Amino acid sequence: MRQKLIITLTTVRGSKQYTLNQLAKYLVGLFLLLSALSFFVSNLLLVKTRDHLNGLAQEKLMLEEQYIEALGTQQSYMKNLIELSELFTETFYEKYQLENEKYQLEEEVIRLDADLNEMESILGIIPSPEQPASPEERTDLLKAAALQRLFLLHSIPNGLPVKGAKISSGFGERVHPISRRRSQHNGIDFPSPIGTPIYATADGIVERAGLESGSGFGNLIILQHNFGFKTFYAHLNEIKIAQGQYVHKGQLIGTVGKTGRVTGPHLHYEVRHLLTPLDPYPFARWGLSNFDYIFNAVEDIPWESLSAIYPLNQAGPQ
């Protein structure tokens, strides 16, 4: 007889007995059922997971495309940012240059205004506070005044005929160094070494150039100038111009000597107006920086008539 294992299960409803064979059948059936259920559940989860993975893959592709697009946009932004930075740097540099140029122009305007004020002061021009002129108008007025004054300074003797020389004998009465008698000295004497250059003190024409015998002048140059003025240069060693020649102010006309009645080498210099000898000293001091000086220092000249012939500016003779 086969041995069977009998399992008795007791519940409130009673007791049941199962043999092992029956239990095994149940367990196998249950296992198969669970296996089938697990298979279907696993397949379902697998399908869902695969779909989910496919979705994730698509999202990954979309994200990668968006990333590439964003990266390109970022690079474009970076390029634009670099261009903007370069443009800003260039603009800032141009702004700095313009500010620097503006500052330099302001300084130049200040210097120009100071120069104009100085020139107006030198030329005796008094700007009108009621009607202030522009720098261009002030410059034009200064040019006109300067041309007028330069014309007179080139027409009327002024400055020194010998550079750096001192005066040894002035204009007026004196004891003559040779005759020892009191006599009129019609010029001023500049003692200088023989050969020292002598320059014309105004534009003019050579009236005389040569030895003046019997006068004591020795070698003499006489220049005719505008408005009736003449200048005399006596006791010369050399004469470098000829009679009838035109000369300009500052031109070399001769050299210092000791010809004629002299005790030593020097230049005897005279200024005459309509044959009347004038003291050359005020004319030697006269120049652009003290233009008004001559009109008060020399009273023997009818300056008012000169003003009528060639109108001066506001600082002209009164």
Long-range contacts formed by 163-167: CB under 8 A, 24+ apart:
163/197, 163/199, 165/190, 165/191, 165/192, 165/196, 165/267, 166/190, 166/191, 167/281
Residue where a domain terminates, one of 71, 94, 117: 94
- What is the spatial distance between Cα 276 and Cα 220, in angstroms, rounded to a whole number? 18
Q: What is the pLDDT of residue 266?
A: 95
Per the model's pLDDT, the better-predicted residue between 259 and 142 turns out to be 259
Tokens representing 111 are 């210097």
Least confident of 18-27, 175-184, 290-299: 18-27
Give the domain extent around 277: 154-309
pLDDT band at 188 (very low <50, low <70, confident <90, very high): very high
Q: What is the pLDDT of residue 205?
A: 98
* Strand, helix or coil for residue 17: strand
User: Does 113 have pLDDT greater than 80?
Assistant: no
Same domain as 172, residue 292: yes
Q: What is the pLDDT of residue 315?
A: 41
Same domain as 182, residue 66: no
Question: CB–CB of 239/253 below 8 Å?
Answer: yes
Q: What is the pLDDT of residue 35?
A: 78
How does pLDDT run across 281-310, given as a tens digit for each residue?
A: 999 999 988 888 999 999 888 888 776 665
Question: Is 99 inside a domain boundary?
Answer: no
pLDDT band at 17 (very low <50, low <70, confident <90, very high): low
Q: What is the pLDDT of residue 190?
A: 96
Per the model's pLDDT, the better-predicted residue between 190 and 41 turns out to be 190
Q: What is the pLDDT of residue 307?
A: 67
Question: Is 111 inside a domain boundary?
Answer: no
Same domain as 184, residue 301: yes
CA 260 to chain centre: 57
Residue where a domain terminates, one of 94, 115, 131: 94
Residue where a domain terminates, one of 52, 74, 94: 94
> How many domains does one find in the chain?
2
Per the model's pLDDT, the better-predicted residue between 33 and 187 turns out to be 187
Q: Around Cβ 295, how many Cβ atoms within 10 Å?
A: 19
What is the mean pLDDT of the segment spanning 232-252? 97
In the chain the beta strands, taken as DSSP E runs, fall at 6-11, 14-19, 172-175, 182-185, 188-191, 197-199, 204-212, 218-224, 229-234, 236-239, 246-247, 252-256, 266-273, 276-278
How does pLDDT run across 144-176, given as a tens digit for each residue?
A: 777 888 899 999 999 999 998 889 889 988 777
Same domain as 224, residue 299: yes
